[in-house]
Structure 1
Amino acid sequence: MSNTTTPSKAKPFLAIFDLDETLIAADSASLWSAFLVERGIASTTLLEEEQDFMKAYAKGDMDMNSYMKATLKPMVGLDNGTVTKLVDAFIEEKIKPAIYQDAIARIEWHKKRGDKVLVVSATGEHLVKPIASMLGADDAIAINLEQINGSFTGNTVGALSYQQGKVTRMKTWLDEQETQFQGSYGYSDSINDLPLLNAVDRPFAVNPDPTLAMHAQVNEWTIMDWRHDNNIHR
């Protein structure tokens, strides 16, 4: 993922962050499902389905297509304006209280260096893009959602940014950039992001699950724990 530098000006680095359990102390998609239930937009059965899916996710074998179909069902027929208002309220109520202070500090560290900050997540773009913007990221890659005549259909579009799909989407994103990068940093908590971490020059295991922690130790990757007391951004 490295690019050569020009003699006139050093090219920036690219800092790639996973979102859930890396930058925030929660899974944004799960919080969103609970939020929709609280608002009466989704049935409580969605939370039961969510729990089953998350157990599979922790093992690294979740069917993302099935997960997206189930969790997007409450949004079918909702227009973009309605969803945007719901997401704005959701971020204020559920996401902002869950942000890691160390995550903000790390993003700011990269920004001060002149690096470009990119959030890459296996969650829907309706959540990831506004959350990434709020966190100070320059751009975001997420699962694209289909809209017809301004309303959500419950379907996804294109390659899902999940596991190896994150690398696929990231390569497409890189091809679209006018900027070339001299190197890359990658941050994630999950073994599901092993393809992404293997693709960057400097991988960091942040709040790693047991499997990723073991992999990081064997490969002498830097391990960061942002979950210590009093580390939630207020």
Structure 2
Amino acid sequence: MNLALFDLDHTLIPFDSGMAWTQFLVGRGVLPAQAEETYLGYCRQYVAGTLDIHAMHFASVAPLASVPRVRLAQWANEFERALRPRVPAAMRALVQRHLAAGELCALVTATTRFIAEPCARLFGIAHVVATEAATADGHPDGALTGAIDGLPCFREHKVTRVQQWLAQQMPGGADGLAAFEHSWFYSDSASDLPLLGAVSNPVAVRPDTRLRQHALQAGWPIIDTA
């Protein structure tokens, strides 16, 4: 079996899922209108390489602390339906080719799990490696606190989180990524260079300037038209 990993924002989808989620909640009166500008400020920090992901996560998740998880799940389903028309057919076809080949596929994203999972369903991806939201009682369905549970799935931690996930998928196997003859990771961002460098087939998708330069120098494939 081979392995195919996919970043989410600006890779499988040509926009930021966190911003889309923020706009979705603002549209329902759950968040104030200024929440969009607050989130945009974090996006600017991300581009500048100065993002504190814990602060971004808290700003996005803490306002939902009092929302019952059943309601949050309902919103996630509505969010999925709202995003369906915005999914590029070319990227859906790319994922389907990997799935049809029998490869183990996963969405690997810094996005919070309850935002990432509806997006993964749009592509038929069963596995999600994402930033986990901490809960007050430690139970997955408990009240959200705004903190991150464990390591964020971000930058160099993406490699660690993927290795942890693979250890769960292959009990007794200690090789992780090295166990696969062929492995792919698709990403748009230089922040993902640690994981891109850990797979056998890194692919840059509409890459930012730094990743494009690195991909050209390393001879990695570049997808610009998805």
State TM-score, norm by structure 1.
0.87
Instruction: State how many pairs are aligned.
Output: 215
Shift of 1:200: 0.8
Greater relative contact order (CA < 8 Å, ≥ 6 in sequence): 1
Match status 1:42 vs 2:42: no
CA contact (8 A) 1:187 1:204 kept: yes
Match status 1:29 vs 2:18: yes
Shift of 1:182: 2.6
SS in structure 1 at match of 2:132: strand
Aligned equivalent of 2:89: 101
SS in structure 1 at match of 2:222: strand
Residues 132-151 of structure 1: pairs in structure 2 closer than 5 A: 132-148=120-136, 150-151=142-143
- In structure 2, give the amino acid aligned to 1:187: Y
State TM-score, norm by structure 2.
0.90
Shift of 1:131: 1.8
Shift of 1:202: 0.5
CA distance in 1, matches of 2:58, 2:136: 16
Q: 1:96 to 1:131 in 2, by over 3 A?
A: same
Match status 1:163 vs 2:169: no
Residues 10-25 of structure 1: pairs in structure 2 closer than 5 A: 12-25=1-14
CA distance in 2, matches of 1:105, 1:35: 26
Aligned equivalent of 1:231: none
- For structure 2, the residue ranges without an aligned partner over 5 or more in a row are 172-178
SS in structure 2 at match of 1:142: strand
CA contact (8 A) 1:100 1:226 kept: no
Residues 1-234 of structure 1: pairs in structure 2 closer than 5 A: 12-93=1-82, 95-148=83-136, 150-178=142-170, 180-227=179-226
SS in structure 1 at match of 2:60: helix
SS in structure 1 at match of 2:91: helix
Runs of 4+ in 1 over 3 A off after TM superposition: none
- For structure 1, the residue ranges without an aligned partner over 5 or more in a row are 1-11, 228-234
CA distance in 2, matches of 1:151, 1:125: 15
